[in-house]
């Protein structure tokens, strides 16, 4: 997948990433882990490094880069086990979060709908303790829960959104609002239903932003135990997010059907 912030595109022969490694590569990290000298980050599969990182940061990343497999073969894998964070596209994209300050940027950078959906996922995984998210999602208890999430994302070596995807695919530790526990469907499965529903009702797939919002909304309802079947839920989200296009597409199909009958 193309990305303006990465230098990993396969071009035949040596990739851009391999050229970068030949310049920056080394072994043994010089930076002590944020979590102490004995902390070991998990190995993450990576396919590139963001160009938004400084030259010094890229050199540090190269010291924790490992190749496993045979160079030049299609299934050659690359791993990274340093403290910089890997995003959902497997790009090493940024330094660890300063949870105390960046929690504000993350919380206020989301729409109220997404903030509520993600907060409910955090609550279902115990980040709120025995409490629940506030209505606004920006009170002290929300900031505490989200700051804890950022620290956990640092420990996992993932950006917060990639870490949130991992949480969404993990069975809830508790139900939001109390009561019985409900399993949240993995986002990949929900995305498949959304794709089918959007093709049928819109004539095209939804944007990634709309898909992410729809997945979060469906998972929020599932976490609360109030969710219809996936097929129904996906169709409801499609109609909710693009009602005008759905009406236009339905009208166009009706016209096509009428014309085909007249022609017959």
Kindly report, residue by residue over 44-85, the tens digit of the pLDDT. 889 889 999 999 999 888 888 777 665 555 555 688 988 999
- Give 165 or 250, the one with higher predicted confidence: 165
Domain ranges of the chain: 16-94, 99-168, 187-263
Phi and psi dihedrals of 250, rounded to 5?
-65, -40
Instruction: Give me Rg for the CA atoms of the chain.
Output: 22
pLDDT at 13: 46
Residue 143: pLDDT above 80? yes
Rounded Cα distance between 117 and 220, Å, is: 5
pLDDT at 171: 76
pLDDT at 35: 61
pTM: 0.57
Rounded-to-5 percentages of helix, strand, coil across the chain: 50, 10, 40
Alpha helix stretches (DSSP H) within 28-159 = 55-62, 99-108, 112-124, 140-156
Three-state secondary structure call for residue 12: coil
pLDDT at 33: 46
pLDDT at 147: 92
Which range in 80-84, 241-245, 250-254 is most confidently predicted, on average pLDDT? 80-84
Phi and psi dihedrals of 42, rounded to 5?
-70, 155
Instruction: State both tokens at 22.
Output: 């030949």
- Give 186 or 125, the one with higher predicted confidence: 125
Nearest to 227 by CA among 179, 258, 184: 184
Q: For all residues of the chain together, what is the average pLDDT?
A: 77
């Amino acid at each position: 997948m193309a990305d303006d912030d990465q230098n990993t595109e396969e071009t035949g022969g040596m990739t851009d990433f391999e050229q970068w490694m030949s310049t920056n590569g080394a072994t043994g990290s010089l930076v002590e882990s944020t979590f102490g000298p004995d902390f070991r980050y998990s190995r993450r599969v990576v396919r590139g490094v963001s160009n938004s990182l400084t030259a010094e940061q890229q050199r540090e990343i190269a010291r924790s880069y490992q190749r496993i497999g045979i160079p030049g073969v299609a299934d050659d894998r690359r791993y990274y086990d340093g403290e910089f964070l890997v995003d959902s596209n497997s790009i090493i994209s940024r330094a660890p979060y300063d949870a105390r300050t960046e929690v504000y940027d993350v919380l206020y950078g989301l729409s109220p709908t997404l903030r509520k959906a993600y907060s409910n996922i955090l609550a279902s995984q115990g980040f709120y303790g025995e409490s629940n998210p506030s209505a606004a999602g920006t009170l002290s208890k929300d900031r505490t829960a989200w700051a804890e999430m950022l620290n956990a994302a640092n420990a996992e070596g993932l950006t917060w959104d990639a870490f949130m995807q991992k949480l969404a695919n993990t069975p809830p530790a508790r139900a939001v609002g109390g009561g019985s526990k409900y399993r949240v469907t993995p986002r990949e499965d929900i995305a498949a239903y959304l794709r089918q529903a959007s093709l049928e009702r819109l004539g095209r797939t939804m944007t990634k932003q709309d898909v992410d919002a729809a997945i979060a909304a469906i998972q929020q309802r599932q976490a609360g135990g109030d969710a219809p079947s996936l097929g129904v839920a996906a169709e409801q989200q499609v109609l909710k997010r693009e009602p005008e296009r759905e009406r236009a597409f339905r009208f166009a199909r009706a016209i096509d059907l009428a014309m085909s009958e007249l022609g017959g």
